[in-house]
Amino acid sequence: MLLRMSTLFLRTLREDPADAEVPSHKLLVRAGYVRRVAPGIYSWLPLGKIVLENVARVVREEMNRIGGQEVLFPALLPREYYEATGRWTEYGDTLFRLKDRKGSDYLLGPTHEEMFTDMVKGEYSSYKDYPVTLYQIQTKYRDEARPRAGILRGREFVMKDSYSFDLDDDGLKHSYEQHREAYIRIFDRLGIDYRICFAMSGAMGGSASEEFLAPCPTGEDTFVACHNCGYAANAEAVTTPAPPTVTAEQPALRVLDTPDTPTIESLVEYVNEHHGLGITAADTLKNIVVKVRTPGSDKAEVLVIGVPGDREVDFKRLEAALTPGVPEIFEAEDFVRNPGLVRGYIGPQVLASLGLTYLVDPRVVAGSAWITGANEPGKHAAHVVAGRDFQPAGTIDVAEIRAGDSCPRCAHPLSIDRGIEIGHIFQLGRKYADAAGLDALGPDGKPIRVTMGSYGVGVSRAVAVMVEQRHDALGVAWPREIAPADVHIVGTGKENQIEVATQIAEELEARGLRVLVDDRPGVSPGVKFKDSELLGMPTVLIVGRGLAQGVVELRDRATGVKEEIPLAEAVERVFAACRA
């Protein structure tokens, strides 16, 4: 492959796009890899398309290596498949829904569990047919609430999704392990730094679901890590260990005058000063009201959540805990409609009589005593005891996780970082097989319900993640396997230099390298150097002023190391650098 910049469909930009906040968005647009069409919707230009295909090739090779077979589904799908599993409704506002000319409902596929299940059901019948793993690399559509950061979170994006079909739990575990290993190889080859994090907890079992998160300051996911036992988990999946229940007798509930203390901070300060208490925010019980909307209905239920006053409710943990329900802010007018809820002074004592559901943080154990609202303006109550003065309907683990919190496995302090989800592996079990009635006929003539796994890689997102992790102030530094070319040969100045640069490029192409040559006449050396840094090929060869003395310059984009080498050795040296 030889790309000539004199004819390449490429225009680089000197300015960052106005709507770009993160480095990958700025650089991919400036370097002419992608162009925005609408929020979260991007076109790929020639160099970008090569990068995207290179990522897809790596993913394909590793999926094939574990025996995956590639198929391709349409993105435009009829409602009925998603109706059968409830996802037509449950997917909520994230699903792109549309109608055809006859008025029939369609959707643009956000993920394809239903379709794969149906396909396997149509083709396979006997236990002898299984196991099987199918995958596709295809465009997905999700009307994301917060499309941001360019192709990191698109509304249209490319995903590899695969699905395993097994006859029993051991088979599913094996398929899951194979995917896990394939993902490790994929992300290693992409040169991405990542952590494998638990993504689900409790009922699903320890290893049922893991996310591959790329640590990155711009990431939207928060994950914890324990440097003692190696535990790592998405913050959404972290479980808070419940302290032991309190059996000691507690003093009777006492109402305190606390004028003008609608915040935890003002409350703590007031009661310590005026009531002689020595409390901290952690001794108070903060009650947060949210509305929970069920997708597909206009009805929103009121939910009150009790958390220790030194912690906020983490909205992403809340979203994950309530899914498919969608939490919404409880607005001023909602307070007007619920006069029993006294803003700033809510206590759980009255919630049952108001008919409201009350869920508490796992730290609010039976017998524990709290300072909380007294449901009257300017009043709080002390010695409000869980199980005595109020009865929570259950627990909800949605308080923020902090660095230093105890590891749920070994109790060591956890560290916290941000990351971007690049892959997700998930033991689905029989949910979709149940909905579709996917059975294999067993050796004894009895049906066996098939069990499934689902596994995703963000192919287009991976392109952005590589840039997030591999860039400097000047531009991108692609890993070689993914770069649009192995080497960028820059001919500066006079025609002679461009001619020599082109000759070297042709020789290297003949030896099997993928080459980009800057053969643009009349473009200044400064502009060409800047473009080579912005575009980010791993190896750069400058054919410039030194040519008169028979030397050219070899540069390594990632390390910045530059070396003058004799022209006669240029082909050999570049070849060696690219095949190292």
Of the ranges 8-16, 63-71, 152-160, 251-259, which one interacts with ligand ATP (CB under 6 A)? 152-160
Q: Is 422 in the site for ligand ATP (CB under 6 A)?
A: yes
Omega within 30 of 0 (cis) for the link into 131: yes
Give yes or no for residue 458 binding ligand ATP (CB under 6 A).
Answer: yes
Q: Are 357 and 302 in contact (CB under 8 A)?
A: yes
Q: Which residue from 113, 166, 421, 533 is in contact with ligand ATP, where contact means CB under 6 A?
A: 421
Q: Which are the contacts of 404, defined by CB distance < 8 A and separation ≥ 6?
A: 413, 414
Angle at 416 between CA 228 and CA 399, to 5 degrees: 110
The residue among 373 and 458 lying less far from ligand ATP, judged by its C-beta, is: 458
If binding is defined by CB under 6 A, does position 153 make contact with ligand ATP? yes
- Site of tokens 């004799």: 566
- Contact call for residue 519 and ligand ATP (CB under 6 A): no
Return the sign of the alpha-carbon dihedral for residues 320, 321, 327, 329. negative
**According to CB under 6 A, which one of 142, 293, 311, 363 is a site residue for ligand ATP?**
142
- C-alpha 262/C-alpha 257 separation (Å) is 12
Query: Residue 281, Cβ neighbours under 10 Å: how many?
Result: 16
**Residue 461, interface with ligand ATP (CB under 6 A)?**
yes
Question: Contact between 424 and ligand ATP (CB under 6 A)?
Answer: yes
Q: Which two tokens stand for residue 383?
A: 């010695």
* Residue 114 interacts with ligand ATP (CB under 6 A): yes or no: no
Closest approach, Cβ 323 to ligand ATP, in A, equals 11
For 426, the token pair is 């998930």
Number of residues that bind ligand ATP (CB under 6 A): 15
Residue nearest to ligand ATP (CB): 458
- Asked if residue 257 binds ligand ATP (CB under 6 A), the reply is no
- d(C-alpha 272, C-alpha 382), whole Å: 12
Taking alpha carbons only, the member of 135, 371, 407, 402 closest to residue 266 is: 371
Pick the binder of ligand ATP from 48, 109, 423, 453 (CB under 6 A).
423
Q: Convert 365-399 into a string of H (helix), E (strand) and C (coil).
A: CCCCEEEEEEEECCEEEEEEEECCCECCCEECCCE
Report angle CA 398, 400, 403 to the nearest 5 degrees.
140
One residue of 82, 124, 157, 345 binding ligand ATP per CB under 6 A: 157
Q: Are 179 and 425 in contact (CB under 8 A)?
A: yes
Question: Which among 112-120, 189-197, 261-269, 452-460 is the span making contact with ligand ATP, rule CB under 6 A?
Answer: 452-460
Return the range that interacts with ligand ATP (CB under 6 A); candidates 170-178, 248-256, 301-309, 420-428: 420-428
Q: Which residue has the tokens 């909307």?
A: 293
Q: Which of 12, 85, 111, 415 binds ligand ATP (CB under 6 A)?
A: 111
Q: CB under 6 A: which stretch of 260-268, 379-387, 458-466, 557-565 binds ligand ATP?
A: 458-466
- Residue 396: how many other CB atoms lie within 10 Å: 22
Distance CA 392, CA 449 (A): 38
Q: Least distance (Å) from ligand ATP to the CB of residue 456? A: 3
Smallest distance from the beta carbon of 234 to ligand ATP, in angstroms? Answer: 9
Smaller CB distance to ligand ATP: residue 427 or 460?
A: 460
By CB under 6 A, is residue 87 in contact with ligand ATP? no
Report the interface residues with ligand ATP, using CB under 6 A: 111, 142, 144, 153-154, 157, 159, 421-424, 456, 458, 460-461
